[in-house]
Amino acid sequence: MRALLACAALILSTIIAGSAHASVGFSCGAKDSNVRLAIEAAYGTSLGGGAANFGGDIEIVAKDVPERLRRISLDLDHLGQNWFRGRDIKLVARWQSAEEEPYMEVTLVVETRRGEAEESPYVGTYELWVDAAPSEDRAEWLRFEASGEAACTVG
């Protein structure tokens, strides 16, 4: 009986210890005259594990963007494509307005790469597109584009 309990304890401790390193997180950000961006995600460490958790906020500073689109919160449903492997972190997130609202869409692309050294930061770029159909307060179609530097940390 003691051998069975010891074996069960060993298996349980192996599972717990193994799960301590089963995921890794990263956060990415950008801040310039157009955009303030903060994103976080957790990934499984096995190849193909994908994002298990994702969230973030986009604040668009530009005044020609409608107020409704100046602050967008993202979650895992908005993450369309993502790549966190080796020295690269890349993602595409897309937010779209509800069906009952006029068409509005915000698309974010972040591409970063870590330097050769393991402790090097991930640096790269972001690109942001905002599209909005004409509405009661705007007669023209809106297209806003911004791009700049982005950086990510892993921990």
Question: What single-letter DSSP state applies at residue 155?
Answer: -
pLDDT of residue 48: 62
For the chain, the 3-state helix, strand and coil shares in percent, each to the nearest 5, are: 15, 55, 30
pLDDT of residue 155: 82
CA atoms of 155 and 108, how far apart (whole Å): 23
Q: What is the mean pLDDT of residues 85-96?
A: 93
The model's pTM: 0.81
Q: Say if residue 119's pLDDT is above 60.
A: yes
Report the 3 state secondary structure along 17-55: HHHCCCEEEEEEEEECCCEEEEEEEEEECCCCCCEEEEE
For the stretch 93-112, pLDDT in tens is 999 999 888 899 999 999 99
Which residue type is seen at 93?
A
